[in-house]
C-alpha cells in the first residue's frame, strides 16, 4: 500500500517531467510526511519525540539540463515554474527547499550542466505533516541517485536539517528530517534528539491514528515558532543549562522561579519530555489508555504553557474526544495545522463521519 503510493507519486513526477522538459529524468525519489504522536517542541531542546512516517509524501524527478548554473523547478500541481541560479540565496519561494539541497549536495552538477526538477505530492503543505522535510529528503535522495552515490539515512536527515536551518532560515529541530529519512511508514519512532539514539515502538493494534486538518493553515517561517525557540534559549541562559531537555521533574521548582512566559515554556518542555518517556513505557506494557491520557495532557500543555494552539484546534481536540477518541492533541509546530487522534479501530469510520459533520472546515488527512 505504502509502496504503491510512493511508486505512484514517482511515476506522476516522471511523467510530468517528460511532458514539461521533453526528456526522461535521471533520478526519482520519494520521502514521506510524518505525524508526531507525542513530544512537541522538544526536538530543538535536545529532548525526546515519538513521530511516525505516513503513507502520504512527496516525490521528485530530477535530471541535468537547461543552462549551466540554473535550476528549473516545477511542481506537478502548480501551474508555475521557477528558474533559480545555484548562487541564489533563499527568497521565501517554495523552490528554496530544493535549491538549498542542490547547493548542499550537487552544486558541482548544477554549475556544470544545470538541473531540472519536477515535484509531485499528496501531502498537504503547512498542515503540520512536515511537507518541508519530505521535500528536502526526497531531493537529497534523488541528487544522490543522480550521482550514483549511496546516501546514509542519518546523514540525509542531518543535511536536510542544515538546509532548513541555514538556507531556508527555519530554526527547526531534527525530528522531522530524522523520522522522514530513517523511519518506516506506520511505525512510531522513539528518538532521543540529543544523542540520535532511536527505536521503533509498536502501537496498539486495536486503535487507529487519525490526522485531521483544522482548516487553519500555518507557515512556520512566518509565525511564532522562531519566537518559541528564542524563549527556550533565553530560559536556558537564565538557568545555566545547554538544553532544556537536560532538566527533569526535580528542576520544576527552579523553573517556576523564571519570569513569565519563560517559566511556562520551560515547564512544557520538561513535562512533555516526561510524557514521551511515560508513553513509550505505556505502549511497551500494553497500556493504551495510559498513552491516550498522555496525548490529552500534551495538548493541555501546548495550549496553556507553550501557547501554540489556536481556538479552532482546541475545539477540534475537544470535539474528537466528545466523538469517542481515546486521545487527541495538536500535532506539528502549531499556530493552526492538524490534530492527531487515537480512535478504537471498530469506531473509526463512525468517528470520521462525526468529525466531518461537526467540523465542516476540518479535513481528514490520514487514517492509519
| Active-site residue set | 176
Per rule CB under 5 A, is residue 288 in the interface with Mg ion? no
Quickly tell me which residue has 505502549 as its cell: 283
Q: Nearest approach, Cβ of 331 to ligand ADP (angstroms)?
A: 10
> Which ranges of the chain would DSSP assign to H, the alpha helix?
2-21, 96-105, 107-113, 131-147, 153-162, 175-182, 225-239, 252-256, 262-284, 288-304, 311-322, 348-358
Given ligand ADP, Mg ion, none, residue 366, with its beta carbon under 5 to 8 Å by kind, binds none
Given Mg ion, ligand ADP, none, residue 17, with its beta carbon under 5 to 8 Å by kind, binds none
DSSP-derived letter for residue 76 is T
Given ligand ADP, Mg ion, none, residue 94, with its beta carbon under 5 to 8 Å by kind, binds ligand ADP
Select 40 or 264, whichever has its Cβ closest to ligand ADP. 40
76 Cβ contact partners less than 8 Å away, ≥ 6 residues apart = 12, 13, 16, 118, 119, 120, 121
d(CA 174, CA 186): 19
Q: Nearest approach, Cβ of 160 to ligand ADP (angstroms)?
A: 11
Quickly tell me which residue has 525557540 as its cell: 229
Q: Nearest approach, Cβ of 220 to Mg ion (angstroms)?
A: 6
Per rule CB under 5 A, is residue 139 in the interface with Mg ion? no
Give contact residues for ligand ADP (rule: CB under 6 A). Answer: 58, 75, 94, 97, 119, 121, 125-132, 135, 219-220, 332
Given Mg ion, ligand ADP, none, residue 156, with its beta carbon under 5 to 8 Å by kind, binds none
Per rule CB under 5 A, is residue 302 in the interface with Mg ion? no
d(CA 292, CA 310): 21
Q: Nearest approach, Cβ of 167 to Mg ion (angstroms)?
A: 14
Rg (CA), the chain: 21
Identify the three-state secondary structure at position 71: strand
Select 142 or 292, whichever has its Cβ closest to ligand ADP. 142
Quickly tell me which residue has 514539461 as its cell: 20
DSSP per position, 250-307: GGHHHHHTSPTTHHHHHHHHHHHHHHHHHHHHHHHTT-HHHHHHHHHHHHHHHHHTS-
For Mg ion, which stretch binds (CB under 5 A), given 28-36, 58-66, 126-134, 198-206?
126-134
Per rule CB under 5 A, is residue 221 in the interface with Mg ion? no
Question: CB count, 10 Å around CB of 269?
Answer: 29
Select 130 or 366, whichever has its Cβ closest to ligand ADP. 130
Select 132 or 298, whichever has its Cβ closest to ligand ADP. 132
Given Mg ion, ligand ADP, none, residue 135, with its beta carbon under 5 to 8 Å by kind, binds ligand ADP
- Among 285, 283, 258, residue whose Cα is nearest residue 269: 258
Select 75 or 273, whichever has its Cβ closest to ligand ADP. 75
Q: Nearest approach, Cβ of 40 to ligand ADP (angstroms)?
A: 12
Q: Nearest approach, Cβ of 307 to ligand ADP (angstroms)?
A: 18
Given ligand ADP, Mg ion, none, residue 37, with its beta carbon under 5 to 8 Å by kind, binds none
Amino acid at each position: 500500500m505504502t509502496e504503491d503510493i510512493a511508486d505512484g507519486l514517482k511515476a506522476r513526477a516522471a511523467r510530468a517531467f517528460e511532458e514539461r522538459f521533453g526528456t526522461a529524468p535521471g533520478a526519482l525519489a520519494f520521502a514521506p510526511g510524518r505525524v508526531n504522536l507525542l513530544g512537541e517542541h522538544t526536538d530543538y531542546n535536545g529532548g525526546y519525540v515519538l513521530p511516525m512516517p505516513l503513507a502520504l509524501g512527496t516525490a521528485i524527478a530530477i535530471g541535468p539540463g537547461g543552462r549551466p548554473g540554473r535550476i528549473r523547478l516545477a511542481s506537478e500541481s502548480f501551474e508555475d515554474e521557477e528558474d533559480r541560479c545555484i548562487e541564489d540565496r533563499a527568497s521565501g519561494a517554495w523552490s528554496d527547499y530544493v535549491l538549498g539541497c542542490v547547493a548542499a549536495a550537487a552544486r558541482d552538477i548544477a554549475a556544470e550542466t544545470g538541473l531540472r526538477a519536477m515535484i509531485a505530492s499528496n501531502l498537504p503543505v503547512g498542515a503540520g505533516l512536515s511537507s518541508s522535510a519530505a521535500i528536502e529528503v526526497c531531493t537529497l535522495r534523488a541528487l544522490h541517485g543522480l550521482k550514483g552515490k549511496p546516501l546514509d539515512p542519518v546523514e540525509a536527515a542531518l543535511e536536510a536539517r542544515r538546509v532548513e536551518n541555514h538556507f531556508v532560515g527555519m530554526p527547526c529541530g531534527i525530528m522531522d528530517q530524522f523520522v522522514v529519512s530513517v523511519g518506516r511508514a506506520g511505525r512510531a519512532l522513539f528518538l532521543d534528539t540529543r544523542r540520535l539514539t532511536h527505536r521503533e515502538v509498536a502501537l496498539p493494534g486495536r486503535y487507529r491514528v487519525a490526522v485531521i486538518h483544522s482548516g487553519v493553515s500555518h507557515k512556520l517561517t512566518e509565525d511564532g515558532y522562531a519566537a518559541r525557540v528564542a524563549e527556550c534559549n533565553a530560559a536556558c541562559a537564565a538557568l545555566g543549562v545547554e538544553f532544556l531537555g537536560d532538566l527533569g521533574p526535580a528542576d520544576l521548582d527552579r523553573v517556576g522561579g523564571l519570569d513569565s512566559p519563560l517559566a511556562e515554556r520551560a515547564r512544557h518542555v520538561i513535562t512533555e519530555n516526561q510524557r514521551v518517556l511515560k508513553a513509550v513505557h505505556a505502549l511497551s506494557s500494553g497500556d493504551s489508555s495510559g498513552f491516550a491520557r498522555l496525548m490529552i495532557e500534551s495538548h493541555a500543555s501546548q495550549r496553556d504553557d507553550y501557547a501554540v494552539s489556536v481556538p479552532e484546534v482546541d475545539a477540534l481536540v475537544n470535539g474528537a474526544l466528545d466523538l469517542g477518541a481515546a486521545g487527541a492533541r495538536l500535532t506539528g509546530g502549531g499556530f493552526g495545522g492538524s490534530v492527531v487522534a487515537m480512535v478504537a479501530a471498530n469506531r473509526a469510520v463512525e468517528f470520521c463521519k462525526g468529525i466531518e459533520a461537526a467540523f465542516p472546515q476540518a479535513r481528514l488527512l490520514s487514517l492509519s
